[in-house]
Amino acid sequence: MTSSEQRVGWIGTGRMGAPMAERLARAGVDLAVWNRTRAKAEPLRSSGATVSDTIADLRDRDVVFTMLATAADLDEVLTELLPVSGGPGVLVDCSTISPEASAAARQTCARHGTAFLAAPVSGNGNVVRAGKLSIVVSGPRDVYDRVAGLLAHLGRSAVYVGEDETARLVKIAHNLMLGVVTQTLAEITVLAEKGGVPRHAFLEFLNDSVVGSAFTRYKSPAFVHLDYTPTFTPVLLRKDFDLGLAAARALDVPMPLTAAAAQLVQAAVSSGRVEEDFAILLDLQAAASGLDLKPEDVAVDDGLNARLGDGLNERLNELNGPAS
């Protein structure tokens, strides 16, 4: 069955879920969506999706995607989605949850005859809209093959890493690096600025050097403009650090740099700025260094507007406008 023939459900249309579901709808997928706050799902009608009144309305779908904030949210959804028999053929969970919670969800789905894939993602809403989302997937290989066409609509890559919950460990490791790199970027940016270098000039040099990356370039506008519109909050990052350090203990892997970064992420949470982006690590580093930061009114390339060589992604960028 091709992706255009599959009837798909989507549960969770928040910052990440909405643009991901929109990509499926604009690709011509038969898509029905549900969100606890219905108003967040309604805009997807304009992209071709239908909005379901209840989770139970999605039980007859071939594939259902979930993008939820916590493992408790996933448990609640599964209670309503999975009847004694006759539930969806496949559930693809894109949430960031622990391997243990993922294994429990897999077992629940198996009891009800629904196949389960763990499919956490790398990116945020802007990255999704630019067609640059990355997905890591684990579970039965034949089930992955069944939904690979749908995953291809969501971003630029989907990587299969094995059975069971291996994708969860990959995503946790990814987010640990996200926090460590951002803290390091904050430290060296403050060092350069306190030495008299404008932030935008330092970051331009860094991003064009061998140590620059898609992520440092993407985060540069927030650092230059001090725009902390949330893409990922300190509270969510703290959750991932907790998961990562727990995995490290279980596997006897020393992670001294990660442990130190975890304390700085906790300081960001303790500052009370829990609704802003975790890029506030820059502000905390500046304050600790006696530096008063000011926004710089300079245009900065976030790296998301390059042409992608994929017709669907290019068309989506035209429809959505430039990422901000």
Quick one: 141 and 27 in the same domain?
yes
Other Cβ atoms less than 10 A from the Cβ of 80: the count is: 14
Question: Domain limits at 119?
Answer: 7-164+310-320
Confidence (pLDDT) at 305: 75
Quick one: 159 and 45 in the same domain?
yes
Cβ contact 44:18 at 8 Å: yes
pLDDT interval class at 308 (50, 70, 90): very low
Confidence (pLDDT) at 317: 38
Confidence (pLDDT) at 180: 98
Confidence (pLDDT) at 297: 97
Please determine, for residue 81, whether its predicted confidence score (pLDDT) is greater than 60: yes
pTM as predicted: 0.85
CATH number at residue 242: 1.10.1040.10
| 93 occurs within a structural domain | yes
| 298 occurs within a structural domain | no
Quick one: 225 and 148 in the same domain?
no
Quick one: 260 and 145 in the same domain?
no
Query: Cα–Cα distance between 258 and 141 in angstroms, integer?
Result: 32
| 294 occurs within a structural domain | no
Query: Cα–Cα distance between 302 and 216 in angstroms, integer?
Result: 9
**Residue 249, exposed/middle/buried by CB under 10 A (0-12, 13-18, 19+)?**
exposed
Of 198-207, 211-220, 266-275, 312-321, the poorest mean pLDDT is in 312-321
Please determine, for residue 245, whether its predicted confidence score (pLDDT) is greater than 80: yes
Query: Cα–Cα distance between 323 and 306 in angstroms, integer?
Result: 11
Quick one: 207 and 62 in the same domain?
no
CATH number at residue 36: 3.40.50.720
Please determine, for residue 35, whether its predicted confidence score (pLDDT) is greater than 60: yes
pLDDT interval class at 83 (50, 70, 90): confident
Of all residues in the chain, the percent with pLDDT exceeding 70 is 94
| 300 occurs within a structural domain | no
Confidence (pLDDT) at 264: 98
Q: Which two tokens stand for residue 67?
A: 């993008």
Confidence (pLDDT) at 318: 37
Quick one: 160 and 178 in the same domain?
no
Q: Please give the average per-residue pLDDT across 274-296, as a whole number.
A: 98
| 296 occurs within a structural domain | no
Quick one: 101 and 185 in the same domain?
no
Q: Which residue has the higher pLDDT, 309 or 46?
A: 46
| 293 occurs within a structural domain | no
pLDDT interval class at 319 (50, 70, 90): very low
Cβ contact 199:193 at 8 Å: yes
Q: Please give the average per-residue pLDDT across 141-161, as a whole number.
A: 97
For the chain, what is the domain count? 2
Quick one: 72 and 176 in the same domain?
no
Please determine, for residue 16, whether its predicted confidence score (pLDDT) is greater than 70: yes
Question: What does pLDDT average to over the chain?
Answer: 92
